[in-house]
Amino acid sequence: MTAPLQVRDIEFAYERMNVLFGVSFEVEAGETLALLGTNGAGKSTLLRVIAGLERPSGGVVTFDGADVTGLPAEQLVGRGLILVQGGRAPFPDLSVADNIEIQSLTSRHRPDWLATRRELVLETFPALRRRWLEPAGVLSGGEQQQLVLAKALLLDPKVLCIDELSLGLAPVVVQMLLDVVRSLRATGVTLVIVEQSLNIAAELCERAVFLEKGHVRFEGRTSELLERDDIARAVFLGGAAQGNGRRPVAAGRRTKPRVKE
């Protein structure tokens, strides 16, 4: 059976600055794939290319067996390929209810179908039900992230790409979000997750792709990635130690390195 998401030889540049160089991988149906990398490796850019927010200068994105390279994001959302962008808060002046209602306008499904999806979303995120009529801007950071995920889940994604799931959130909130991701995986949703923590990625994902300076440096089981001290050092230092003649301190396996795009 064809993998629902395939990325082949993707090239991308901002004006004259090349960002991605022949990136290739695929995601199997129902799989949760971690997309990791050094600072500025191109992870978020790659998700934007996959989701139709950027057009690659070369390569092919295949979704559900069809070439969707360069299709606009609104068409891909209708097909079930959805991106949750890192750092994109909900509309702060609108209520939780209005944020959800606006998202439903992007769906061509019948009102009864949307009502069923809305109830499922509120069962998944009970805090949003309690704050249904409050402005999204007064929610905590964790609750705002829940609302962003809820808006994506409303559309019943086949492939859900999540950028920076745990960025800036308290550990207890991160754990709750990880439980949500696990529940999504159990329903068969295919997930691609950009994460900052190698340990969180290992907890969620059996397989990972590691980018460095726009190239795929590693693709394989996350457990094998954790054993790669060279990659752990790259995450810690963002390549700063390369070429300076110094040997960086190796990272321990139980550490939680964090990077930002």
- Convert the pLDDT of each residue in 50-89 to its tens digit: 999 999 999 999 999 999 998 999 899 989 999 998 766 7
Q: Give the residue from 216, 147, 137, 151 showing the smallest Cα distance to 177.
A: 147
Helix (H) or strand (E) holding 7: strand 5-14
The reported pLDDT for the residue numbered 252 is: 35
pLDDT at 261 over 50: no
Pairing of strands 207-212, 32-37: parallel
pLDDT at 254 over 60: no
Q: Which residue has the tokens 């979000």?
A: 177
Higher pLDDT, 56 or 248: 56
What pTM did the predictor assign?
A: 0.83
Q: Which residue has the tokens 């329903």?
A: 187
The set of residues, in sequence order, having a beta carbon less than 8 Å from that of 122 and lying 6+ positions away, is 128, 129, 150
The reported pLDDT for the residue numbered 5 is: 97
> Side chain identity at 240, as an amino acid letter?
A
For the chain, give the percent of residues with pLDDT over 90: 54
HSE-up of 168 (CA within 13 Å, CB side)?
13
Least confident of 64-78, 97-111, 199-213: 97-111
Reported as a pLDDT band with limits 50, 70 and 90, residue 105 is confident
What are the pLDDT digits (tens) for 125-184?
A: 999 999 999 999 999 888 898 899 999 999 999 999 999 877 777 888 888 888 888 888
Q: Which of 3.30.590.10, 3.40.50.300, 3.30.530.20, 3.30.830.10 would CATH assign to domain 5-89+158-237?
A: 3.40.50.300
Q: Would you kindly state where each structural domain of the chain is located, as residue ranges?
A: 5-89+158-237
pLDDT at 258 over 70: no
**82-99 mean pLDDT:** 88
Q: What secondary structure does DSSP assign to 126-166, as a single string?
A: HHHHHTTTSBGGGS-HHHHHHHHHHHHHTT--SEEEEE-TT
The reported pLDDT for the residue numbered 60 is: 97
207: number of Cβ within 10 Å: 19
**221-250 mean pLDDT:** 60
Distance of alpha carbon 172 from alpha carbon 145, whole angstroms: 13
What's the farthest any 2 CA atoms get from each other in the chain?
Answer: 64
The reported pLDDT for the residue numbered 202 is: 86
The reported pLDDT for the residue numbered 187 is: 84
For the chain, give the percent of residues with pLDDT over 70: 87
Average pLDDT, the chain: 85
Q: Which residues of 69-83 are buried (b: 16+ CB within 10 A; e: fewer)?
A: bebebeebbebbbbb
> Side chain identity at 158, as an amino acid letter?
K
Structure tokens given for 87:
């750092």
Reported as a pLDDT band with limits 50, 70 and 90, residue 253 is very low
